[in-house]
Copies of this chain bind each other. A is one copy, B any other.
Amino acid sequence: MNQTGQEAERLKRCGLKKTRGRENVMKTLEAAKCPVTAEKIFWELKKQRKEISLSTVYRILGTLVKKEIAKRTGSDENGRAMFELNRHIHRHYLVCLGCHKMIPVEHCPLGELEKRLEQETGFSVTGHSLEIYGYCADCQKQMLTKKKEK
Chain A interface residues toward B at CB < 8 A:
74-75, 79, 81, 94, 96-97, 103, 105, 107, 109-110, 113-114, 117, 121-137, 140
Contacts and interface: CB of A to CB of B under 8 A. Distances in A.
A122 B107 contact: no
A117 B133 contact: no
Q: How many copies does the complex hold?
A: 2
Contact of A132 (B94, B96, B114, B137): B114
Nearest to A133: B127
6 A-B pairs closest in CB distance: A122-B137, A74-B74, A125-B134, A128-B132, A126-B134, A130-B130
A105 B116 CA distance: 11
Contacts of A97: 126
